[in-house]
Structure formats: structure tokens, C-alpha cells
Amino acid sequence: MESGSKGPGSLFNRNLVSIKQLDKGVIEEILAESERMLEIYKSNSRPNLLAGRIMASMFFEPSTRTRLSFESAMHRLGGSVIGFADPLSTSSAKGETLSDTVRIMSAYADILVIRHPTEGAITGALDSASVPLVNAGDGTGQHPTQALYDLFAIKKEKGRLTNLNVALVGDLKHGRAIHSLAYALAIFGNSLTLISPQSLKMPASMVADLERSYGIRIIQHDSLDQALNADAVYIPRMQKERFSDQKEYERVAAYYVIDKRFMAMAGSDTIILSPLPRTMEINPEVDTMKNAAYFRQAAYGVPVRMAVLKMILKGR
């Protein structure tokens, strides 16, 4: 299979491994299709656009929203789902390589949706796939469909995807959702405010690439106050499972907290986003505020993934 999309066109019969493989035109096409899928989603209809097609859901790492929204998306389009959520129940527990698993599953399904704990593992398995493959998160690497529905949420909440200042807060070192979203926002020429403890800064090579390749304005800071005037604040949890030093995790676990105090000082139009799940970085007291957009954001995962599956398997 060919990885990447060339020019403004559909995703038909292509892999989706990184947000960086998509240009602005393709992303706009996906978001437009997502609007159409949102209407189907809201109407609770079943259009059978992917009747007879099978998606293999292959999750080597825990997931709630990503796995179940992909499966919901496939069912809502009339397709079927096979797969696993526990690698210990598969032959990988016997030593089977990811490449061999991908080769076998390609014979059983029309599209593979894979999450893996190792960055780059999915890219490394591409040559073994004979059907399209979607990266559902690879370690600290990329999570392209998360970035797509983050963009969709921002557009729905703010009414635009350009001329925004977005604050990315917290663990910018390990967060694949953060990494993918940073590139997605850069593609649309937005400014980024990167807020993190020194030990969890976004990799310098990534910051340099964003500035060099897209010419965007990036500010780095360690104070949450720098996010008060942002158009959107994106704050994932501190990922305990990514820390080799648990004492370091305990030191930064509650380093930044969005609460009523923050919201009282923030701009009236500042929205709060998160890839979820949350631990302690967003106080539940914020949930009922109109600018708390993270649960609405999570719901958009279904129509956006409906759009991605439909465009890869059926085209426009």
C-alpha cells in the first residue's frame, strides 16, 4: 500500500499514518465529509455505505474513545468489525511480530486500525499490509485521526481554523495527540503557545521543524498564565505510563490544573479541549461551563472517523 495522500484529493485506498502526510486541501476535504457524517450520526440512520466491508480493530495498548469510536463509526456505515483489545489474547503473546500479524489480518479485513505502544512500529509494518492501514496511535509518535477531530472540534467551536492562538499545555514531550495537533494547526498557519515544565518540553527537533516547514509563530513558557488569552487551551493528562521515573511523574502530575480560578481569568471566548481521559488536569467543576468543550470534542470522534473510513474504502 502507498502511504500518504498526494495533493488535494481523497484518501481512497491509502494509508493514514501521520497528519504530516496530509495537506490543507485534503484536511478540508476530510472535515467537509465529517460534516456530512455528523448529520448521519445525529439522525441515527444507517446508510450502509460500507456494507460488506470489514474493519480489523487491532489494539496493542489500552483505549476507550479511539477504539470504540472507530468501531461505532464502522457499524454506523453498515460495516463489520473484528479484532482485539488485549494483545495477551493474540499470538503476539507467543512472540509473533507485528509485521506477521498485519500480514495475516490483511487477509481477514478490508482495513486495519492499529494502536501500538512503540513509536514508529506501525510505519515499520506498512510493507506487510495489503489493505489500507490507519494509525490509531503509536507510542509517543502520531495520532492522525485524533488531530483531525481536534480540528473539527475547533472549527465547530470557534467557527474557523485560521488566525488562532492555541495553547498546548502539559506533557509536550510524550503526547502523540499534542504532536499531531501541533502539525495540524501549523498546516493552517496558526500560532502556538507551548506551556510545559522544563522536563516535558516539546522535542526541540519538532519545534524547529514546525517553525522551518510552516513558518508559524511559537512561544514556549512554563506558566499556565500564558494561556489566559488563547483562543483554545489543549491540555492532555500527564501520561504516567510514559515516565521511566515515577518520582518525576508524581512531581508534575498536577503541575497544571484548569479550574474555576483559571476560567475566571481567561478570555470569555477561550475554549478548553482535551483528548481525554483526564486525571487531575481539568477540575470537574469546569464541566458545566460553556467553554468546556472536551466532551463535545470527544463525540466528534465518531463522525470524523466515519469520514476517514468512508473516504479510504469508498472514496468521495
Question: Which tens digits make up the pLDDT trace of 141-158?
Answer: 889 999 999 999 999 999
Cα–Cα nearest to 300, from 143, 148, 185: 148
d(CA 210, CA 9): 24
Cα torsion through 28, 29, 31, 33, rounded to 10: 160
pLDDT at 244: 65
Cβ-Cβ contacts under 8 Å for 69 (sequence gap 6 or more): 301, 302, 305
If one counts every other C-beta atom within 10 angstroms of the C-beta of residue 110, the result is 18
Distance of CA 107 to the CA centre of its chain: 27
- 88 pLDDT band (50/70/90 cuts)? confident
Measured N-to-C along each axis, helices 176-187 and 24-43 cross at an angle, to the nearest 10 degrees, of: 110
Cell triple for 256: 497544571
Q: Where are the domains of the chain?
A: 19-142+301-313, 144-299
Whether the domain at 19-142+301-313 and the domain at 144-299 fall into the same CATH topology: yes
Q: Give the predicted TM-score (pTM) of the model.
A: 0.91
Domain 19-142+301-313 has CATH 3.40.50.1370: yes
- For residues 159-175, one letter each, b for 16 or more C-beta atoms within 10 angstroms of the residue's C-beta and e for the rest, the string is eebeebbbbbbbbbbbb
- Between 112 and 90, the higher pLDDT residue: 112
Distances (CA, A) of 214 to 20, 25, 96, 123, 210: 11, 15, 40, 23, 6
- 6 pLDDT band (50/70/90 cuts)? very low
170 in Cβ contact with 255 (< 8 Å): yes
**Catalytically annotated residues:** 65-66, 94, 115, 143
- Which fold would CATH assign to domain 144-299? Rossmann fold (3.40.50)
- The span from the first CA to the last CA of the chain, in angstroms, equals 19
Cell triple for 273: 479541549
- 93 pLDDT band (50/70/90 cuts)? confident
pLDDT in tens, 11-45: 999 999 999 999 999 999 999 999 999 999 999 88
When mean pLDDT is compared across 21-35, 199-213, 248-262, the lowest value belongs to 248-262
214 in Cβ contact with 186 (< 8 Å): yes
Q: Where are the alpha helices (DSSP H) in the chain?
A: 24-43, 65-76, 98-108, 121-124, 144-158, 176-187, 204-214, 246-252, 260-265, 294-299, 301-313
